[in-house]
Chain A
């Protein structure tokens, strides 16, 4: 949150939150207050705004656009989980992907406001004329963050593992900075600290300063309590939180009023970490160092990135680096990085290999359950022959495809 993407010489952008949820309003309000004071101010009415923000996923979005009809010179920035799905409904609109990249947003808003202000006698329904360069692209080319779910998304980005290209099979030169995320800048960092504190002093803790409750309790089994709904928790976990936003406080008890959900801490940490990571690794990780999953995550409850099941099946029985696991399974590394990040925070990662890795039993990795063969760590997992899938493959397909 330290860098602000504003174009040089931009005046203060008057932003009106025309159609956004209360939680987004609070997060944006906080950002304005703490970080964008010199680039954005919140307008109290549509008339006084130079640009408006619209959440396309909220009901009543058509009515919001109706309100804009008499204001052709007001800029419009939309956002949605699946921007492409809305692109046809609202052609010529700037539609950003969720979660909003809060660093890039001021720049995008300023640009949309400026473009629309130049519109003279535009037809009422076509407020944002197609600019030379799409404002999203423009802002991204300034900001150039990795495209972790930001902007017009591709199918790949939707799976929440980003679009990071693979690293070389062996370390060559320094690792790209955008491979990593700093957990302390996300909810996951606060959550991890809360759980550690709760465990060490045996008392529940709250993360204060958020729009809704997130609490942790150490007993009888470590659990997280929240009244954020899942569709709110995900964007919150993805957004960068300034360290000052959230404070840890010790509580004597966590009251249940019935609207909260209680999850095992391990499951909650897994999800919040996956959403912060989006295919990246926590800072300080060596992607070439062998590690192992000490157990399967609880996949009936936790977020499953693509290939997460087979990654887990292999990684519980093999000491291997994230890069190696991806190579053995023939899948993009970002999916393995996603599992790594979640497992690290959920406490499911074993990072001290035994003295002799060969001493670990290496169960069969084979093309058919009927012909188990012992395989070395480095040996790629052989895939089924497509023309003759085994019974295991066929059962799997049935379970994946059937309703």
Chain B
């Protein structure tokens, strides 16, 4: 089992292309986030103009001077080899799924599969983004998919706008309480 020290104060943001990973890290980070955006090529270009090719990196500065890193994985699957490396030692996973994609529930399955081992040792919360543009599927469909895949208890699934700091912070708070409901919050 990893010790708390090795568990490197790092929160991982992952999810589909254009789900809002870079935006979410930007909303939460205390520093202007570092991002390796590039002009999108191939299919991604149809979805959006820029895409993160390596990773996003943001920081939460804690009052005692300690830092929590916020890592965003590249959305494109051809970079998925980086996911394990990036998540190694992380506190937990925030998964963002773009509800306006063709089959967001199968996206969800894909990402849960890719992060299976990481989630088993930590925790995950799911932010469903772009629900203002696509209201289907609803949160219950996400919960059902999670339950089907054996995620018991069902992780927190929130409707999220990645541009809202409050929404993104809520995903992280739920992640922390999932790891330990006994946390003191005042």
Contact = CB atoms under 8 A, between A and B. Distances in A.
Contacts of B185: 307, 309-310, 396-397, 400
B159 interface: yes
A389 B139 contact: no
Contacts of B138: 221-222, 264
B35 to A, nearest CB: 22
A391 B181 contact: no
A300 B159 contact: yes
B159 A317 contact: no
A389 B180 CA distance: 12
A382 B169 CA distance: 24
For this complex, into which size category does the number of interface residues on chain B fall?
A: 35 or more
B176 A370 contact: no
Interface string B68-105: 10000000000000000000000100000000000000
Contact of A309 (B3, B159, B177): B177
A298 B4 CA distance: 30
Contact of B159 (A298, A314, A398, A399): A298
DSSP majority for the B interface? Answer: loop
A370 B180 contact: no
Contact of B166 (A300, A310, A313, A329): A300
Given A296-B157, A299-B174, A363-B153, A381 B139 contact: no
Interface of B: 1-4, 7, 9, 60-64, 66, 68, 91, 122, 135-140, 143, 152-160, 164, 166-167, 169-170, 172-174, 176-186
Given A299-B156, A299-B170, A314-B181, 17 more contacts: A221-B138, A294-B154, A300-B170, A309-B174, A310-B183, A312-B174, A317-B153, A329-B182, A368-B4, A369-B4, A369-B180, A370-B2, A370-B4, A381-B181, A383-B183, A390-B180, A397-B63
A389 B176 CA distance: 13
Contacts of A361: 152-153
10 contacts: A221-B137, A296-B157, A298-B139, A299-B156, A300-B160, A309-B177, A363-B153, A366-B180, A392-B180, A395-B176
A264 B159 contact: yes
A370 B7 contact: yes
A301 interface: yes
B144 to A, nearest CB: 9
A313 B184 contact: no
DSSP majority for the A interface? Answer: loop
A227 to B, nearest CB: 19
Contacts of A176: none
A389 B2 CA distance: 18
Contacts, number: 148
Interface string A367-395: 11111000000000111101001111111
B93 to A, nearest CB: 13
A295 interface: yes
A394 B64 contact: yes
Interface in A318-367: 329, 360-361, 363-367
A296 B166 contact: no
A257 B73 CA distance: 41
Nearest to B6: A370
Nearest to B142: A295
B182 A398 contact: no
B135 A221 contact: yes
B80 to A, nearest CB: 26
Contacts of B9: 391
Interface in A259-316: 264, 266, 294-296, 298-301, 307, 309-310, 312-314, 316
B174 A370 contact: no
Contact of A329 (B63, B143, B170, B181): B181
A60 interface: no
A399 B173 contact: yes
A174 interface: no
